[in-house]
Amino acid sequence: MVCERSNILIIGATGYLGKYMVKSSLSLGHSTFALTRPLKPDTDPSKLQLHKHFQDLGVTIFHCELDDHEKLVSVFRQVDVVISTLAVPQFLDQLKVISALKEAGTIKRFFPSEFGNEADRVSALPPFEEVLQKKRKIRRAIEAAGVPYTYVSANSLATYFIDYFLHPQQPCNDVFVYGTGEAEAVFNHEEDVAFYTLKAATDPRAANRLVICRAPENTVSQLDLISSWEKKTGRLLNRIHISEEQIINFSQTLPHPENVRAAILHNIFIKGDQMSFELSGEDLEASQLYSEYNYSSVDRVLNTCLVNPAEVKLTTF
Ligand SMILES: NC(=O)c1ccc[n+]([C@@H]2O[C@H](COP(=O)([O-])OP(=O)(O)OC[C@H]3O[C@@H](n4cnc5c(N)ncnc54)[C@H](OP(=O)(O)O)[C@@H]3O)[C@@H](O)[C@H]2O)c1
C-alpha cells in the first residue's frame, strides 16, 4: 500500500494500544519515535525489554516527563505527527502536550488519546461521563490552540472486549450479559484501529476531522457475540443477566476504577450509545475511507481467539 513516509511520535508507546500503533507505524514504513517516561532503578524489567525490542526494530526512544515543557518542545520539533495513547488517568496531562505542540508550531497532526466512544455525541453515567468530559476538554483545548488534529473514535476494541466477555484463554461456562444483551455495539480489532490511525496521520482528508470506526460487519449485539462463540466452540454458555438497575448500582457503589467499568458497560451494552446517532456528512467512517484495506470482521477476530487464544490480547512484533 503506497503511503507518504513521515516522522511519527507515539506517546504511551509502551502501553496496550501504543504497541499496536508502533507496529503499524513501522509496517507502513514511517520513521517511528516513542516518548516514554525516564527509566528508574525500579522500572519493570519487561518494560526495559520492550524498550530494547523497540530499538532493535529501529524505533528512536525519547525519555521525557510530561512536565518537561522545554524537552517536549524540542522533541516535537523533530517529528511531523504526534499520536497520544496515554492512559485514562493521564488524559488531562495532554494539556501540557498541547501547550508544547503549540509552542513547537511545526506539528502537522496530533491525535489525542481517544480511541473509544464519540465523546461529543454520547452521554453516560457519572463515572464514565467524567472520562468523556476530560476527552471533550482536550478536544476543545486542541481546537483553541490551533493545533492540526484528527480524532479517532474506535468504539470497542475487539480483542479487549472479547477477552473480557468470553475469556478465551481460560474457558468458563458462565457469561455475563448486560441488560437484555440486544443493544448493538461496534467491535474493531486493535490492529485495524492502529492502521486507520496511521493512515489518517498523513491523509489530508482527515485533517481537523473525526475518523469513526463503524464498519457494518463489526456491529453486533452481545447476544450475537455469545451465539457466534458457542457455535465456534461447540459449547453452550450459561448466560447470567446483570440488569440495568444492578449495573447502575455498581456504578454508584463500587470503588474506582470498577465504578467506571460499570458505567462503560452500561453506556455501550445497555444504552447502546455507540449506535445511538447517525453519522453525518462531516464524519469519516474508517472502513469507507480506506475501503481497499481488508479489516478484521468480528467473526474473524473470534476465529483467531479460537485458534490461538494466547495471542488474543498480545501485540506480537
Ligand atoms: N475503546 C476501547 O475498547 C479501549 C480499550 C482500552 C483502551 N482504550 C483507550 O486507548 C488509550 C490508551 O489506553 P491503554 O489501555 O493502551 O493505556 P495503558 O496501556 O494503560 O498506558 C499507556 C501508557 O501511558 C503511559 N503512562 C502511564 N502512566 C503514566 C504517568 N503517570 N505519566 C506519564 N505516562 C504514563 C505509559 O507509558 P510509559 O511508561 O512508556 O511512559 C503507558 O505505557 C486510552 O485513550 C484508552 O481509553 C480504549
87 CA distance to ligand 1 centroid (A)?
A: 3
Q: Is 225 in the pocket of ligand 1 (CB under 6 A)?
A: no
Q: Choose which residue among 90, 130, 152 to substitute to test ligand 1 binding: the one with the highest number of ligand atoms within 8 A of its C-beta.
A: 90
Q: State yes or no: pLDDT of 148 exceeds 60.
A: yes
- The DSSP secondary-structure symbol of 89 reads G
- 3-state DSSP call for residue 67? coil
State how far Cα 198 lies from the chain centre.
13
pLDDT top residue among 305 and 130: 130
149 CA distance to ligand 1 centroid (A)?
A: 19
Nearest CA to ligand 1 atom 22: 15
Closest CA to 188 of 111, 86, 117, 90: 117
pLDDT top residue among 142 and 308: 142
Query: Alpha-carbon distance 217 to 205, whole Å?
Result: 24
Taking only the tens place, the pLDDT of each residue in 71-116 is 999 999 999 999 999 999 999 999 999 999 999 999 999 999 999 9
Q: What length does the chain have?
A: 317
Query: Alpha-carbon distance 121 to 107, whole Å?
Result: 27
The string of DSSP codes covering 20-34 is HHHHHHHHTT-EEEE
Residue 91 alpha carbon, nearest atom of ligand 1: 45
101 CA distance to ligand 1 centroid (A)?
A: 20
What is the predicted pLDDT for the residue at 3?
Answer: 61
15 CA distance to ligand 1 centroid (A)?
A: 5
What is the predicted pLDDT for the residue at 307?
Answer: 87
Query: Alpha-carbon distance 28 to 10, whole Å?
Result: 14
Q: Is 81 in the pocket of ligand 1 (CB under 6 A)?
A: no
Per-residue pLDDT, averaged over 248-276, amounts to: 98
Q: State yes or no: pLDDT of 7 exceeds 80.
A: yes
Where does 7-311 sit in CATH, by number? 3.40.50.720
Q: State yes or no: pLDDT of 208 exceeds 70.
A: yes
Taking only the tens place, the pLDDT of each residue in 169-190 is 888 899 999 999 999 999 999 9
Q: Is there a catalytic annotation at residue 135?
A: yes
Q: Which of 23, 135, 199, 271 is catalytic?
A: 135
Q: Is 115 in the pocket of ligand 1 (CB under 6 A)?
A: yes
Q: Is 156 in the pocket of ligand 1 (CB under 6 A)?
A: yes
Per-residue pLDDT, averaged over 23-47, amounts to: 95
Q: Is 160 in the pocket of ligand 1 (CB under 6 A)?
A: yes
The residues facing 238 across adjacent strands are: 174
Residue 235 is placed in which grid cell? 459449547
- The DSSP secondary-structure symbol of 271 reads S
Domain coordinates of the chain in residue numbers? 7-311
Per-residue pLDDT, averaged over 14-21, amounts to: 97
Taking only the tens place, the pLDDT of each residue in 281-292 is 999 999 999 999
174 φ/ψ sector (left φ>0, alpha ψ -120 to 50, else beta): beta
